[in-house]
Amino acid sequence: MFCEANVSIARRLAGGGVMLGVLAVLGGCQAWSPAPEGLDVERVKKRFVERDCPAGRCATVEVGSLSFPGAPGLSERLRDDLLSMGSGITNGESEAVVSSWEEYAQTFFDEAKAARERVPELPGYQAVFKAEVYDRHAELTTIKLDSYVFTGGAHGMPLTEFMVIDEREKRVVTLDDMLREGQTPAYREALSRAHLRWLEEQQAGADFAESWPLSMNRNVAPFADEWRVRYNAYDIAPYSYGQPELRIPAQALEGIVKPRYLER
């Protein structure tokens, strides 16, 4: 049981560097057929509110996403990636794969109701999903996908993933697509140097680095002057540090990354 509102505002990305502001995001490539005049972007807003629930403890699902009118396959990819970011976080036993926001909201509300039956004073469940254009240059568009799911406890769980769209090749590309063959170890080394710089900025000592070691990360946003590598909470630091973002200068990636993805 839920209500929803849907508002779309058309924006165009083609013909100029317009800036409007991830599980499955880096899980493979996907081609699409763009609109003849470029890639159109629409904002999509939805809000679902649980019904027949205790006042002040109703579950909610809020969506501020994007769709691509000329590329329905890309729209589905983005939606499915966002949906996957909200799955498996709750304490519910459901592992059903959902394919729409309506299905997700109903599953989320069912789990919230079941949780309240176990713990009547439980605060309202909350799920928030957002997608925005994070960067656009050299016909590369990076979409930032964010989710935040709260199911009680001290705090909710935020997640961020990047979707990199190569408009020339008409597909979503992954880190493996952007790296030169055999250069994964070199990328890891560049990532390690960025991590050391981040530790210095945080004034973190050896004990911190030992307790929170660096892990490999393919969640990258290729900006013109640097690559940003986003980690999620608890990946390389405690929750209080948020979502650390390591930055690798573009010049440090020469010879490691294909020239196409270092274009300015």
- Predicted confidence at residue 3, as pLDDT, reads 41
Residues of the chain with CATH 3.90.640.20: 177-262
Q: Is the dihedral of CA 60, 64, 69, 72 positive or negative?
A: negative
What CATH number is given for 7-173 in this structure? 3.30.565.40
In whole angstroms, give the CA distance from residue 217 to residue 247: 12
Identify the pLDDT of residue 70: 86
CA distances (Å), origin 97, targets 100, 195, 241: 10, 35, 31
- Three-state DSSP at 51 gives coil
- Specify the CATH class of 177-262 in words: alpha beta
CA–chain centroid gap for 80, Å, is 11
Query: Longest Cα pair distance anywhere in the chain, in angstroms?
Result: 59
- Please state, in angstroms and rounded to a whole number, the distance separating the CA atoms of residues 22 and 129: 11
Q: Are 252 and 196 in contact (CB under 8 A)?
A: no
* SS3 (DSSP) at 194: helix
From first to last of the 264 residues of the chain, give the pLDDT tens digit: 434 333 332 333 333 332 222 233 333 444 554 443 457 899 999 999 999 999 999 999 999 999 999 899 999 999 999 999 998 654 444 455 789 999 999 999 999 999 999 999 999 999 999 999 999 999 999 999 999 999 998 899 999 999 999 999 889 999 999 999 999 999 999 999 999 999 999 999 999 999 999 999 999 999 999 999 999 999 999 999 999 999 999 999 999 999 999 999
pLDDT for res 2: 39
What is the SS3 assignment for 150? strand
Collapsing DSSP states into helix, strand and coil, what is residue 124? coil
So what's the pLDDT on residue 87?
A: 83
Rounded Cα–Cα distance for residues 94 and 111 (Å): 8
Q: What is the pLDDT of residue 12?
A: 33
Query: SS3 for 77?
Result: helix
**Nearest C-alpha neighbor of 222 from the set 187, 188, 178:** 178
φ and ψ of 152, to 5 deg: 95, 175
Residue 62 · residue 6 · CB < 8 Å: no
CATH 3.30.565.40 intervals, the chain: 7-173
- Contact (Cβ atoms closer than 8 angstroms) between residue 222 and residue 164: yes
Please identify which residue in the block is written with the tokens 């949780």.
115
Burial of 93 (0-12, 13-18, 19+ CB in 10 A): exposed
